[in-house]
Every structure is written in structure tokens, then in C-alpha cells.
């Protein structure tokens, strides 16, 4: 049997990088209505093994592990410290936002009713940004403009 040299192995691995596509992801985003683009996207890849392990442990829902308000605050303070212009100012609940999650056997995208007039554009952006083969939109008032994390309402 022939074995690749270390140099040939490294070259082969390097050439295979061109074939490496992003796995489907869960995450969060904000949508800039004027520019019709996402910003503040945070995501993590979801593998079949992660889904299988979650199912084995009785966890049907896989979510990105950070809240919009946490990401918003972090980005706001980073921009302030660096004296940079930022979209992360004001109330994070006043900007259209959403969350991509895995729920039992499909990806879902949680959004507010702000998404209804831009569903076609939103679908394309979500497919591209999160590498989703299939998903369903799920509307919830939490994602409507002006609604936020329940801990913010105290």
C-alpha cells in the first residue's frame, strides 16, 4: 500500500478546502429594511451528530446560545470604545430581527409580522446566510417590533 507523504497530505487537504461548504446553521440576525440586508448575524453550524445527540437526550430544540440583547449590547459598546459608526444603537427591539433554530425535524425561523412584506427577500437571505436546505417561518409576537426579552420588561 502506498502512503501519502506529509507534504502531499498537506497539499491534498489544502485542495479539499475548496469543497468545504458551510453546514446548516442556527443563529440570530437583524434585517435592515432600507438596505434589504442582514447585519449582526451570529451563527453556529449544526451537524447531524448534534441533532442525534440532542434527540437521545430528549432535547427537541437546538438554539443559538446568545440573546439578541446580549449581542446588541456587546456590539454597541465595542463601537463606542473604537469610536466607530454602528447600526447597534437605540432599542434593539425596534429593528427587525429573527432567530434560526432546529425544532425536532426541521429548521424554523422565528420572526415577527414585520417579515410578511419581505418574505421572498428574507427567504433568499436566510437560505444563503444560514445554508438551510429547508425551513419554515414561525411568527411569534416576541419578534414583533417593540417586543423583547421578557427579562427586559421588569
What is the predicted pLDDT for the residue at 18? 67
Q: Give the mean model confidence (pLDDT) for residues 2-15.
A: 79
Please say if the pLDDT value at position 151 is more than 60. no
- Residue 132 within a domain: yes
- What mean pLDDT comes out for the span 86-106? 94
| Domain-embedded: residue 59 | yes
Between 65 and 151, name the one with better pLDDT.
65
16 in any annotated domain = no
pLDDT of residue 20: 63
**Inside any domain, residue 148:** yes
pLDDT exceeds cutoff 60 at 33: yes
Number of domains in the chain: 1
Q: Is the pLDDT of residue 153 over 50?
A: no
Does some domain include residue 8? no
In-domain check, residue 103? yes
Q: What angle do CA 60, 64, 68 make, to 5 degrees?
A: 130
Instruction: Return the pLDDT at 150.
Output: 58
Q: Work out the pLDDT band at 11, boundaries 50, 70, 90.
A: confident
**Position 123 pLDDT exceeds 90:** yes
Q: Is the pLDDT of residue 70 over 50?
A: yes
Domain hosting 51: range is 22-153
Residues 6+ apart with CB under 8 A from 88: 40, 72, 75, 76, 79
3 in a structural domain? no
Q: In this predicted structure, what is the pLDDT of residue 15?
A: 74
Predicted structure pTM score = 0.83
CB 100 within 8 A of CB 68: no
Amino acid at each position: 500500500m502506498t502512503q501519502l507523504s506529509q507534504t502531499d497530505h498537506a497539499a491534498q487537504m489544502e485542495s479539499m478546502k475548496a469543497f468545504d461548504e458551510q453546514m446548516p446553521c442556527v443563529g440570530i440576525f437583524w434585517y435592515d429594511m432600507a438596505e434589504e440586508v442582514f447585519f449582526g448575524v451570529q451563527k453556529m453550524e449544526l451537524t447531524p451528530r448534534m441533532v442525534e445527540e440532542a434527540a437521545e437526550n430528549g432535547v427537541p430544540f437546538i438554539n443559538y446560545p446568545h440573546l439578541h440583547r446580549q449581542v446588541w449590547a456587546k456590539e454597541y459598546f465595542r463601537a463606542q470604545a473604537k469610536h466607530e459608526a454602528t447600526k447597534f444603537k437605540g432599542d434593539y427591539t425596534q429593528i427587525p430581527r429573527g432567530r434560526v433554530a432546529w425544532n425536532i425535524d426541521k429548521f424554523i425561523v422565528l420572526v415577527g409580522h414585520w417579515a410578511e412584506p419581505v418574505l421572498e427577500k428574507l427567504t433568499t437571505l436566510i437560505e444563503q446566510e444560514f445554508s438551510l436546505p429547508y425551513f419554515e417561518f414561525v411568527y411569534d409576537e416576541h419578534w414583533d417590533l417593540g417586543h423583547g426579552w421578557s427579562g427586559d420588561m421588569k
